[in-house]
Structure 1
Amino acid sequence: MSQSQVLYGLEDRPGFAISLTAAIQHVLASFIGVVTPTLIISSVLGLQAEVPYLISMALLATGLGTFIQTKGIGPIGSGLVAVQGTSFAFLSALILVGSTVKERGGSNDDILAMMLGVCFFGAFVEIILSQFINQIKRVITPVTTGVVIIAIGISLIKVGMTDLAGGFNADAFGSVENLSLGLGVLLVIIYFNACKNHWLRLSAIFIGMAMGTVVAFFMGMTNFSGLVDLPWFSVPHPFKYGINFEWDLFLPIALIYFFTAIETAGDLTANSLFCKLPITGERYLKRIRAGILGDGVNSLIAAILCTFPNTTFGQNNGVIQMTGIASRKVGCFVAGVFMVLGLFPFIGALLQVIPKPVLGGATLVMFAMVAVGGVKILTSEPLNQRNSLITACSLGMGLGVMMVGNVVSQLPSWLGNLLTSPVTTAGLTAIILSIILPNQASAPTPVTSES
């Protein structure tokens, strides 16, 4: 089968077995990506007691968001098989918010109330932005999008490497056992990802983490005590931890919502290509507008359910391309599977058992691939002098504040918090330079005198 061949189009309705098989592939491709941000945030901020509920709500929000995005409710949702999931882009900013509250002596509930509060109000940024797609087309370029995604990937690699060595503040940090286990998981994932069998490639991260956890069990590195006395079902409790808000902590989150809207536009464009839909004209812009609005609404729902912002997952575009199945019915099956998974807190507690080196070995690959994806987008158009200058300055500023964090310590708190994140610093620099630097393609031709 040609990878570009569409066996079942958007409006087609394949049978139950075909729909469920395709849906399971989508779930396998995105499951780890959905739960990993929550595991990382909980690990860094010491929220282990809340992990089962947070994971359940992340899966439930993914199911609800995927249904809204796929089915389309009025003007909300692209109508494509666009699987939603917890966004990696917010990780560094959310950890900053949580760490700030924790340093003040805040409890776990206080930390979650602040993180979920700024995410709730930040979702309105993307909701409003979706209505101005025509006005922001100038800054939605491969250069700005690529720079932002590269900064996201690089900023998260430190988190993955820290987990691979044992986790933050681990007693045996950097031990031979931790490094061997983490690198072993990394090698397993690389091996299966290089296989010609598509099922093995899709399941590479899942297989690597499963094998790593089994090895860790025999090494005495797993603890199953958290599985005791768990409820059978997890009932959603809106705003369970309360809601809080501070402007200086909100601004970096708001800016990242802007960047994720740009990223979503790219993912939905690729999805449209695989579904043989036009990527120009008013119908295309309407689809992108509805998709970004769907992202914003789904992030709003996620905050209410007590989980972190949602975004459109790009990895599921590869599943559509590989299977040739672009049916909206499959998207509804994906949503149903995720919602069922979200009702059982046992899943969240089981994931909590995964040792940090295993998690680090898997996430290091994912984070590095995020950066590589940004490089691919960045190089999709020529890196002329203007684009090279924008890229160099943006990444220089973003990586600079990541490496020398106290460089912004003397700034006002709202500005310091905004620029502490390498993602927001790199993205802001790229947008500003894209606006003020003349585009060479449209620059006037120099006038020369004739002899």
Structure 2
Amino acid sequence: MSENVPANTDLLYRLHDRPNPIKAFLGAIQHVLAAFVGIITPSLIIGGTLGLGEHIPYLLSMSLIVSGVATFIQTRKVGPIGSGLMALQGTSFGFLAAVLTAGFVVKNRGGSPEEILSVIFGVSFLGAFVEIFLSQFITKLKSFMSPIVTGCVIVTIGLSLTKVGLTDLAGGFGAEDFGSIPNLLLGGGVLVSVVLISIINNKVIRSSAIFIGLMLGLLAAVFMGRIDFSLVSEADFFTVPIPFKYGFGFDWQAFIPIAFMYIITSIETSGDLTATSMISGEPIKGPLYEKRIKGGVLGDGVNSLIAAVFNTFPVTTFSQNNGVIQMTGIASRYVGFYVGGILCLMGLFPILGAIFTQLPKPVVGGVTLLMFATVATAGIRILSTVDFTHRNVLIIATSLGLATGIAFVPDVLSQTPQFFQNIFGSAVTMSGIVAITLDMILPKNYGVEFDTAEQHAEDGLKPAQKVA
């Protein structure tokens, strides 16, 4: 395989191009809108499940501020820290189960909300050193991440996320009007509008397709009476970040699942950054690529360290923003600086973030469904560079079959030990482990005779005529 996959000729701005401030700001807004719900949702879920009540608004603000700082570090590249790619950082969904497990360890022994947060942020802080350590060897680990492995992982990331997008399009998880005609019309209308805008032969309009689609959806939602701006006026005007506001606690039982997730997220981040590099028309093989992956995983670890200090949960690279790059054609890392600034402002001034929380789920889902699917197509592009031999088809089929099966039927592992569920309960982890294992144990020439005989048969030759 060559150092570069087929060049992405649809890019309007490549990695090192500098769009003018207006275009950069519009591009950044689209990244923020695509990621905003994902950034704040883990804090909402954790806060609600653990009964953190009055602390939730502060946790939301901190998640936005830290995501802004982390995105700046990841895109700007501070020394060896960061990938230098347009890779938005946000609160990780992958840590939800581990963080909730840690929280219940404290809650079940009578701990207060403050004590729960103290332990969660303490073990998250120490656990971040696991990813920082692994980042120094990630290029060796990447030797196991051949194009067939990364392709399978990225396809799985995209396909598993489409469930989230479609759920939002239909009204959101647990919504009383889930799947209603108004929800489907609103979400479907946004999806169609983004597609139509994206094929307009005008760079400015095309690069703003997601933003325009969301604004059209917001306008439609206003006419449908689905916006309550009174909630915006109730938001705090300003929030001050306070390091270790809740103290610093530790518990081994809480630490182990979170430390393990840092190992998993290192591999997932490698896959996300590979997709970002490919979509940006950059190498996915060679010294430059390996340096970016190493810096990106290190950035993930350092940013999660910062997250724990400033009272929010571990962060990671958001794969949905690869869809934004694909849709808008803007891969410039300088847009990441604007993204970081906008997220920080939204965190410092919660009233700004409250405005975006008014976007109805179907509006957001109409956009994210499309973006998640484009992530899957990035994985397909990587797989297209692989020879579809009998061996490789077997690896791809097994990896994607088990991964999508886990995504569609998560209860299939409900009777297995919790430790096993923690490892294989993630579709992305399942895809990666299966693909890596098969790629390692199946001989490289496995099925070659079968493939050769099949090819000669297509050419009108008998198997006996094939070259030994």
Shared fold (TM-score, shorter chain, > 0.5): yes
1:169 has 2:174 as partner:
yes
Q: Figure out how many residues of one structure are paired with residues of the other and give that number.
A: 432
Partner of 1:296: 301
- Structure 2: which amino acid aligns with 1:130? S
Q: Which SS does the other structure have where 1:264 is aligned?
A: helix
Residue type of the partner of 1:35? F
Determine if the alignment matches structure 1 residue 347 to structure 2 residue 352.
Answer: yes
Could you tell me which residue of structure 1 aligns to residue 276 of structure 2?
267
In structure 2, what is the Cα distance between the partners aligned to 1:176 and 1:123? 45
Q: Which moved more, 1:406-415 or 1:117-126?
A: 117-126
- Alignment of 1:257 with 2:266, yes or no, is yes
Secondary structure of the residue aligned to 1:86 is strand
Deviations 1:287-328 (A, max 9, x none): 4423332232123323433155132754676699769x77x6
What SS is found at the alignment partner of 1:440?
coil
Asked if residue 423 in structure 1 is aligned to residue 428 in structure 2, the reply is yes
Q: Measure how far apart 1:75 and its partner are.
A: 2.6
Q: What are the Cα deviations for residues 242-279 of structure 1, in whole angstroms up to 9, with x where unaligned?
A: 777353465355313322124324534665x55xx996
Report how far residue 285 of structure 1 moved: 3.8
Contact preservation (8 Å) 2:171, 2:361: yes
Are 1:128 and 2:133 counterparts? yes
The percentage of counterpart residues that share the same residue type is: 38
Q: TM-score, normalised by structure 2?
A: 0.76
One-letter amino acid of the structure 1 residue matched with residue 239 of structure 2: S
Alpha-carbon distance in 2 for matches of 1:434, 1:28: 40
Closer, same or farther in 2 for the Cα pair 1:215/1:419, shift >3 Å?
A: same
Hey, what's the Cα distance between the residues in 2 that align with 1:7 and 1:155?
29
Contact kept? 2:128, 2:262, Cα under 8 Å = no
Of the candidates 431, 445, 460, which is equivalent to residue 440 of structure 1?
445
Whether the 8 Å CA contact 2:169–2:183 is kept in 1: the answer is yes
1:393 aligned partner, one-letter code: T
Q: Mean Cα displacement is larger for which, 114-123 or 393-402?
A: 114-123
Q: Distance in 2 between matches of 1:3 and 1:369?
A: 16
Question: Counterpart in 2 of 1:86?
Answer: 90
Q: Does the C-alpha gap of structure 1 residues 205 and 53 become closer, same or farther in structure 2, counting only changes over 3 Å?
A: farther
Aligned partners of 2:378 and 2:435: how far apart in 1?
Answer: 17
CA distance in 1, matches of 2:264, 2:383: 20
Are the counterparts in 1 of residues 346 and 353 from structure 2 also a CA contact under 8 Å? no
- Deviation, 1:194, is 2.1
Return the offset for 1:345.
Answer: 0.8
The separation in 2 between residues aligned to 1:332 and 1:159, in whole angstroms, is 27
Matched, 1:311 2:320: no
Offset at 1:116?
6.0
Q: Does 1:211 align with 2:216?
A: yes
* Deviations 1:182-221, CA, capped at 9 Å, x for gaps: 2112112222122222232232222222222222222222
Secondary structure class of the residue paired with 1:237: coil
Is the contact made by 2:124 and 2:258 (CA closer than 8 Å) also made in structure 1? no
Worse overlay, 106-115 or 210-219: 106-115
Deviations 1:354-398 (A, max 9, x none): 222222222222222222222222223222222211111111111
The AA in structure 2 aligned to 1:302 is: A
> Structure 1: which 5+ runs fail to align?
none
After TM superposition, the score normalised by the length of structure 1 is 0.78
What is the aligned partner in structure 2 of residue 360 from structure 1? 365
Unaligned stretches of 5+ residues in structure 2: 1-7, 453-463
CA distance in 2, matches of 1:7, 1:182: 29
Distance 1:262 1:8 in 2: 20
1:247 aligns with 2:256: yes
Secondary structure class of the residue paired with 2:136: helix
Q: CA RMSD in A?
A: 4.2
**Aligned CA distance change for structure 1 residues 161 and 414 (closer, same or farther; 3 Å):** same
- Quick one: distance in 2 between partners of 1:7 and 1:419? 38
Alignment of 1:105-120 (within 5 A): 120=125
Q: 1:220 matched to which residue of 2? A: 225
After TM superposition, give the deviation of residue 27 of structure 1 in Å: 0.8
